[in-house]
Chain A
């Protein structure tokens, strides 16, 4: 396929990385996927933990930030730093900064709750002791931009810097913003991705909405009864394809709004199907050309019902689909980048990850579902991310061999 067939110039994903309950870096993720071994564990997070399972990244508490960045210390920024430090990502960004200049590398990250955990901690101290200790009186960590401001400092980037916070589609939508900036010549490269860490706001918030399962989540399972919350950080470096001809490509994206309800998806998946159609259209692809779709698949009753029906309507059985939230939990604002990374791994290692947690599948799921791992060449793949407020995003990726 030549570039001229695209109504949209694809971008090279010249580096990427992910850190989640499956471990630090891509190798840990690939290993768990190959062995079909998930990373959820009983909730041990809050002072009085709810009886549920979580996708917790081990060792954040023992991993303070480097001295020069210590002013940014909080759980979410520690997780982001752990994430940035894997797979040679820091070195790849440094090289891009050298190549293009610090002003020419945009930074666009998604997060849902950013460093709210630090604000929760400040309030706990306020309620218990009547005052917030000095070390928690840092205005910049009590703001949703904390993650991007920290990463801009850590990577020494001086270009456009933006936080996207659209709940669970946040770190998918960053790819769209970055593509536009590069297309317009506002930047030559972009670091995209995001980080969301465990906090009481989401654990007790989703619990109040009765959306949390007491068991490890079972996406698309017949008896599924809610999500498992997880945390993750992931990043990708986007450049024009000339800079990395062998790298996988971002070849399309679609964004839409449900215009239906703040915390329930549209019953016919109207917004989701619009995002998907827009991603395919930008990429110049037909549904039958898609080898794999990493589904949003949260294990909530409604999301999975709507998404399974969308798959049945749109794709032939040759398109394989699965949710990987059974491995990692729902990492909320980081789900977009984490699942983009898993999708890219699938493409680079010819592995369709099985839908963990679907041992007793919902009978509404069609023949497209990969319940177990499958070996298969993946050249074109999509990743779905849908969020509260009816915010939908779909990303389209292609291998370099397909794009050649």
Chain B
């Protein structure tokens, strides 16, 4: 299968323990994570939008703006891919509970916030971006599948693409089904060519799934990977934070991406 090469210009990251990419770098160098953030700041959103926006949107906007800021690019021009295995679990929990109890009382705002592309909508509105934007998922492989879609857009269209992969913590019955005990979001700004903002060269080679758990991460990263599907991006983020190297991420049940990172 054909491989692809893209260039990473920005990285965003938010979880209660790690609130940006620099925190991951510090953590990998042996620092203890400062663990108590409760809500992503999402400072890019105007205050009234920030009040209205659900948790999934705050998380996605936070990591997206970190990655774009690092790249120095103009957010209004960027195509984007928003991936999330379950979207906003607290909203789904609210919707299904309300529909079971008093369906006529369903909140119209929470309904329009429940679409899987809510984060993409808020992002393009907040940044005045008319470029194509998509919202995707692939269950536990949502990070890898989103990366494949985003890198494919970079190479096919010759344009930079913002990839965001994020999931809220589980809520109610859904927490029993997903087991997501904490929120996690990450973002990558991917470009077709090397430039002054390039952090790393990233080669992607799709290969059949090996069934081998290749994520040889140490604690606490290994535990975080299990706590949220979007944290499947951590092995790649760790390579970007360190000295590069190789890892594999799932892109579907049957497909993996072999990733090679060379720091620039």
Contact = CB atoms under 8 A, between A and B. Distances in A.
Given A145-B137, A204-B104, A123 B99 contact: yes
Nearest to A138: B177
A208 B121 CA distance: 20
Interface string B76-105: 000000000111000010011101110110
Nearest to A392: B132
Contact of B135 (A116, A124, A165, A183): A165
Contacts of A281: none
Contact of B138 (A46, A148, A167): A148
A289 interface: no
B25 interface: no
Interface in B1-29: 1-2, 4
Interface residues of B, number: 65
Interface stretch (A70-78, A216-224, A255-263): A255-263
A288 interface: no
B145 interface: yes
A391 B117 contact: yes
Contacts of B115: 112, 165-167, 387-389
Interface in A173-232: 173, 176-177, 180-181, 183-186, 200-201, 204-210
Given A103-B208, A161-B255, A181-B152, A205 B114 contact: yes
B226 interface: no
Given A120-B96, A204-B99, A184 B137 contact: no
B64 interface: no
B124 interface: yes
A160 interface: yes
Interface string A69-107: 000000000000000000000000000000000110000
B145 A165 contact: no
B145 A144 contact: no
Contacts of A246: none
Given A119-B92, A137-B177, A164-B135, A390 B125 contact: yes
A149 B103 contact: no
Contacts of A261: 125
B136 interface: yes
Interface residues of A, number: 71
B152 A204 contact: no
Contact of B253 (A48, A137, A152): A152
Given A103-B254, A152-B253, A162-B149, A167 B106 contact: no
B127 interface: yes
B251 interface: yes
Given A46-B103, A162-B136, A259 B116 contact: no
Interface of B: 1-2, 4, 85-87, 92, 95-97, 99-101, 103-104, 106-108, 111-118, 120-122, 124-125, 127-139, 142, 145, 148-149, 152-153, 155-157, 173-174, 176-178, 206, 208, 251-255
Given A112-B116, A143-B178, 8 more contacts: A123-B97, A139-B177, A162-B148, A186-B1, A206-B111, A256-B131, A259-B130, A391-B120
Interface of A: 46, 48, 102-103, 112, 116, 119-120, 122-124, 126-128, 132, 137, 139-140, 142-145, 148-149, 152, 157-167, 173, 176-177, 180-181, 183-186, 200-201, 204-210, 255-263, 270-271, 274, 387-391
